[in-house]
A = this chain, B = another copy of it.
Amino acid sequence: MIKAYDDEYFMRQALEEAYQALEEDEIPVGAVVVSKDRIIGRGHNQTERLNDVTAHAEMLAITAAANYLGGKYLRDCTLYVTLEPCNMCAGALFWSQISKVVYAAADEKRGFLKGGSKLHPKNQLVGGILRDESSSLLKEFFKSKR
């Protein structure tokens, strides 16, 4: 049986956002927030365009989803993001009370898993979904900048 909406499906949507960032010459990271198999918030990295270090994909997607819901908590929602969240974004996800976080590529250097910030202990965490595609996208971007 085919499950129409699975983690890979939504991660592909997050990757669409990452490609959008790439088009805007931003570090290509994208995120979506999903509630009941429906995307209720999207975001891609816009730190350059907005001149704002806080404009990470996750932050924008969290804000968009909360706007959609009309409430600040994202209980029973899942965030899909193409790169392991940083300390800032993990902190925001903690505050949001989101249920699940799925990321594609690990971020050995700036990811929260080594960085020290924490998700809520009840938060489900899944890594590695479409990791290779996300990693390649980031590597190509940084290579082009050298």
Give the interface of A toward B (CB within 8 A). 47-48, 51-54, 59, 62-63, 66-67, 69-73, 86-92, 94-96, 115-118
Within the complex, which residue of B47, B48, B66, B91 is in contact with A91, where a contact is CB–CB below 8 Å?
Answer: B91
Number of copies: 2
Q: Is the CB of B51 within 8 A of A54?
A: no
Q: Taking A88-B92, A118-B87, A118-B116 as contacts, is the C-beta distance between A54 and B47 under 8 angstroms? A: no
Interface centre among A51, A90, A91, A92 (most CB of B within 10 A): A91
Contact partners of A88 in chain B: CB under 8 A: 87-92, 94-95, 117
Q: Give 5 A-B pairs besides A48-B72, A53-B92, A89-B91 with Cβ atoms closer than 8 angstroms.
A: A52-B63, A54-B59, A54-B62, A87-B88, A88-B89
